[in-house]
Amino acid sequence: MPHLDAAYNLARWLLRSEHDARDVVQEAYLRALRFIDGYRGGDGRAWLLAIVRNCAFTWLKRQSGSLERPLGESEGGKPTELGADPDALDPETIAIEKADRELWNRAIAALPIDFRVVLILRELEDLSYKQIAEITDTPIGTVMSRLSRARKQLGQIVAAEIAKGVSQ
Amino acid sequence: MKCEQETLTNAYLDGELDAAASAQLETHLESCESCRKSIANQRAVRTGIRDRADYFLAPESVRSALTHQLGLNSRAGSRSASTDDHGAMRPRGEPSTFRRQRSPGWMQIGALAAALLVGWLLGSWPNRWGDRITDEVVSSHVRSLMGAGHLIDVASSDQHTVKPWFNGKLDFAPEVHDLSAQGFPLIGGRLDYIGGHPAAALVYRHKAHTINLFIWPAAGQVGAQRPASTSRGYNVTCWTAAGMENCAVSDMNLDDLERFASTVRGLEPHAGT
């Protein structure tokens, strides 16, 4: 089954639930088969991941009535939930990359969904901005700014968690 | 303090800027501490997420449920309940779950389903020689990753185990190097068949990605490196060296694949020829 792991990984990160991810991946493959006529050749993985993403968003909408709005969606909105001046937390000097797996996973899961999508596609699937733009149906400029804000916010969350752990 | 160029630093780090824009940004970096800091932070985040974030593998139950639903496995029975049925995370650097026990019936159905799906999902069949080889190696790569085929015959990260394993199985001796130090650990090898010849397939891993490196004796024209290509969502790069055809295939990005290829080329006995 081509690209099944990539499809499942994306769904699992977007839905944050094993059970929902299973259902969405199945739905996505069935839909892919139904709409195979719409496939114009080219990048099969990107085409499929776009379907997975759409299915996941539809699923979330159906569940909650409305999609969770990403924190950073209002332009310039600072992630303030950290309770700290973001500039004071320097992810690099705190050596965030050494933080444990569990902390990283929690921090990624806490990101707004639009940030999570670009981050997973870029860092775990190694896709180009162009491919991510196709999958998320957004301009490349938007991909770039979301990725930028996603990395910044993620670094701050991890740094804040580490700082919290140290001070306790 | 925020610099307007900051968003660009991401594109720079991701290798998404063209040469001119990269050079421009590098000049800017010399004078902008804020952007230098931003790049250092992004690097830390990137390393963190790539090394620490879970990559969730599809549970076996999803695979088999799909095969059922697509109507390709109505009576074959023996749904193999596999060990990783809980969305298990891929243990990094390990061959993982590619060798599952399956009954022959299941394997046939699996192969049929796989062939059909590969056909519909992955599109058209080009016809030039290079394209035919590209197609063959991509197909072989895809097959090796699906349960219906197999990824490795000899599982070892030790080049001195893998290389002798090919003795007597091939009429040539492929160069085998472990590239762990360069970020591409060797995980094993297997026999394959490319372009009408028996071929050695060396299997490497890079993060969550699998790389197949196919090696077989070059026939006739000894060309240099051929341009990399993308086929059906997989990247392929081929070159000829020391009388051998080499093709590396993976779903990882082209930059990383080229880096892998140049690492391998750098180790070949007659590098550069």
Question: What domains does chain A contain, in order, with CATH numbers?
Answer: 4-64 (1.10.1740.10), 71-167 (1.10.10.10)
User: Are B167 and B259 found together in one domain?
Assistant: yes
B115 lies in some domain: no
Q: For residue A133, is pLDDT > 70?
A: yes
Average pLDDT, chain B: 75
Does the distance separating the beta carbons of B121 and A3 come in below 8 Å? yes
Same domain, B146 and B35: no
Quick one: pLDDT at residue B92?
40
Structure tokens at B90: 């891929």
**Residue B18 domain-assigned (yes or no):** yes
Question: Are B58 and A97 in contact (CB < 8 Å)?
Answer: no
- Where a domain ends, among B32, B52, B72? B52
Instruction: Give the list of residues 6+ apart from residue A46 with CB closer than 8 angstroms, or none.
Output: A127, A131, A134, A135, B233
Judgement on whether residues B25 and B130 belong to the same structural domain of the protein: no
**CATH number, residue B181:** 3.30.200.100
Look at residue B58 and tell me if it is in a domain: no
B141/B32 same-domain check: no
Q: Is residue B189 part of a domain?
A: yes
Q: Let me know if B79 is exposed, middle or buried by CB neighbors in 10 A (0-12, 13-18, 19+).
A: middle
Answer whether B89 touches A (CB < 8 Å): no
- Residue among B1, B45, B69 whose CB faces A30 most closely: B69
Residues B47 and B128 in one domain: no
- On whether residue B68 sits in a domain, the answer given is no
Closest residue on chain A to B114 (Cα): A1
Rounded to whole angstroms, how far apart are CA atoms A103 and A117? 19
**Predicted local distance difference test score (pLDDT) of residue A161:** 87
Instruction: Tell whether B198 is covered by a domain.
Output: yes
Instruction: Indicate whether B35 and B151 sit together in one domain.
Output: no
pLDDT digits (tens, 9 = 90+) for B23-74: 999 999 999 999 998 899 899 999 899 888 999 988 888 888 887 776 554 3
pLDDT at A37: 62
- Tell me what the mean pLDDT of segment B262-267 comes to: 86
Please indicate, yes or no, whether residues B38 and B154 belong to a single structural domain of this protein.
Answer: no
- For chain A, give percent helix, strand, coil, nearest 5: 70, 0, 30
Rounded to two decimals, the ipTM of the complex is 0.83
Around Cβ B196, how many Cβ atoms within 10 Å? 9
Burial class (CB in 10 A: 0-12, 13-18, 19+), B227: exposed
In a domain, B98, yes or no: no
Number of domains in chain B: 2
Q: What is the pLDDT of residue A120?
A: 95
Q: Do B220 and B134 share a structural domain?
A: yes
Q: Is residue B136 one of the residues assigned to a domain?
A: yes
Print the domain residue range for B13: 6-52
**Residue contact B62–A145, C-beta within 8 A:** no
Residues 17-46 of B with CB under 8 A from A: 37, 40-46
Mean pLDDT of chain A: 81
pLDDT on residue B125? 35
Out of B11, B47, B209, closest to residue A144 by CB: B11
Q: What is the pLDDT of residue B164?
A: 87
Q: What is the mean pLDDT of residues A115-130?
A: 93
Using CB atoms and an 8 Å cut-off, which of residues 15-34 of chain A contact chain B? 18, 21-22, 25-26, 29-30, 32-33
Residues B238 and B151 in one domain: yes
B140 & B231 share domain: yes
- Check: CB of residue B136 under 8 Å from CB of residue B214: no
